[in-house]
Amino acid sequence: MDRDLVIIGGGPGGYEAAIRGAQLGKTVTLIEQDRVGGTCLNRGCIPTKALYKNAETVNSLKKMIEFGVSLGEFTFDMSTAQKRKDEVVNKLVSGVDQLLKGNNIEVINGKASFKSSKAVQVTTGSGTEEITADNIIIATGSSTSLVPVPGIHLNGVISSDEILNFEEVPKRLAVLGGGVVGVELASIFASFGSEVTIIEFMPKILFRLDDELSKKLTVYLKKQGIKIMTGTGLKEVQQSGDGLIVIVENEKGKTELKCDYLLSAAGRKPNTDGLNLEAAGIEYDKKGIKVDENYKTSAEGVYAIGDVIGGTMLAHISSEEGKVCVEKLCGHNADVNYNAVPSCIFTFPEVATSGMTEDEAKANNIEYLAGKSMFGANGKALTMGEGEGFVKVLAEKESHKIIGVHIMGPHASDIIHDGSMAIRNQLTIENIKESVFAHPTLSEVFYEAVCSCVGEAIHSMPKKK
């Protein structure tokens, strides 16, 4: 065989698997048809968060008078924001390139397709070559899927890839999909000044969130001027002058919405096209490539990780699966604890969650304790002018083990790791209570929520008996 390990796809799952393989002594080749970093780094997580910071800054400027700072009028230039975003992305892509080079990983810029379970054909700008390997990992990720309705391919119907490169702020933006991508981009462009409408088929946005978080966030988004239409399906898109007419339907009947652009953010599909999986005997369906608990496919020596196997499509899950997959095929004992994976949503305020929701605990017949603490009672949050939101903690009633943590408020994406580590390590209410949290910090709200599970929170009013 030419190589010990070939990885198809250079996103977070692929490049981290490659580096881990090199660390474990494997000869590794990484095949990527675009730029390393995948969707997350080039067209997803990082560019979105770069624009999120611009939006956050705009929001802060609107509130400067609260801090005694009078600015008068200010302007926002989208092209400058795009330039800054591109600089951030390019710096990180360059960093990944250097890491791969530093770990002696061969990187081939080309498109791979299977010839057999041990061989892939790679098409590059200079021709084709066949590569054989003892083990092959598929990490090709996912891409935006379109709802099959009339007019969905009209000009003006855009994906997240396109909106992340806008040089101007659209006046009217309709967003199809109230999931993470749709809600984040709705929040960002509403902050920039767009009139935003979210269209969501499910009865609530962010359907998998703890119900209380979803309801509260809906209230906050509406306060920011975002119109939210839940229980609403897209029926048709029509051209209208320079814009679009979006026809939607709910229990009240059909409605026509006028917008400049319709952002399609209603789901993603695994990238399996062109891989010629049949030639290797790899089983898959529309949900993705089928794997076992070791990420093995139906073909000997072929593995798959990340978005291409379906499930929860998060960059950090792909990364962890990539590393664990390599460790397993090298004979190490490793696993991904999916019960403790954090999920972060960059809205205003931020939302983050890990572990079970209340509905999931009830569905599994788990008796639990629930504790909650408000950011409005936290000194650090109030000094920041960000007292909105709360932390909710769920713990098993008998064992007191932490099983769920749900946060909406300032820096929720940073605080959630307190909760994830507690769940991963099966920490109890007592373990957290015995820890000392620095004051004044936002993490104190997590501590107070844990204490609230047993009625011992100091800075919360006692529950009425």
Contacts 24+ apart (CB under 8 A), 242-247: 243/156, 243/172, 244/151, 244/154, 244/156, 244/157, 244/174, 246/174, 246/199
Token reading at 403: 């099983």
Round the CA-based radius of gyration of the chain to a whole number and report it.
24
Token reading at 32: 């990527």
What pLDDT score was predicted for residue 462? 79
Q: Is position 439 annotated as part of the catalytic site?
A: yes
Angle, helices 444-452/412-424, rounded to nearest 10 degrees: 50
Token reading at 83: 């330039």
What pLDDT score was predicted for residue 328? 96
Torsion sign (Cα): 179, 393, 420, 381? positive
Q: Are 192 and 58 in contact (CB under 8 A)?
A: yes
Contacts 24+ apart (CB under 8 A), 273-276: 274/111, 274/113, 275/8, 275/112, 275/113, 275/114, 275/138, 275/140, 276/113, 276/114, 276/115
For 454: left if phi > 0, alpha if psi spans -120 to 50, otherwise beta; the answer is alpha
What pLDDT score was predicted for residue 53? 97
What pLDDT score was predicted for residue 73? 87
Q: In a structure prediction context, what are the per-residue pLDDT tens digits for the chain, which is 465 residues long?
A: 688 999 999 999 999 999 999 999 999 999 999 999 999 999 999 999 999 999 999 999 999 999 999 988 899 999 999 999 999 999 999 999 999 999 999 999 999 999 999 999 999 989 999 999 999 999 999 999 999 999 999 999 999 999 999 999 999 999 999 999 999 999 999 999 999 999 999 999 999 999 999 999 999 999 999 999 999 999 999 999 889 999 999 999 999 999 999 999 998 999 999 999 999 999 999 999 999 999 999 999 999 999 999 988 999 999 999 999 999 999 999 999 999 999 999 999 999 999 999 999 999 999 999 999 999 999 999 999 999 999 999 999 999 999 999 999 999 999 999 999 999 999 999 999 999 999 999 999 999 999 999 999 998 877 776
Residue 137, beta-bridge partner list:
7, 303
Q: Give CA–CA dist 96/87, Å, rounded.
A: 14
Q: Are 207 and 214 in contact (CB under 8 A)?
A: yes
Catalytic, out of 406, 411, 417, 439: 439
What pLDDT score was predicted for residue 186? 98
What pLDDT score was predicted for residue 463? 74
Cα dihedral value 308, 311, 313, 317, nearest 10: -90
HSE of 179, CA atoms in CB hemisphere, 13 A: 16
What pLDDT score was predicted for residue 465? 64
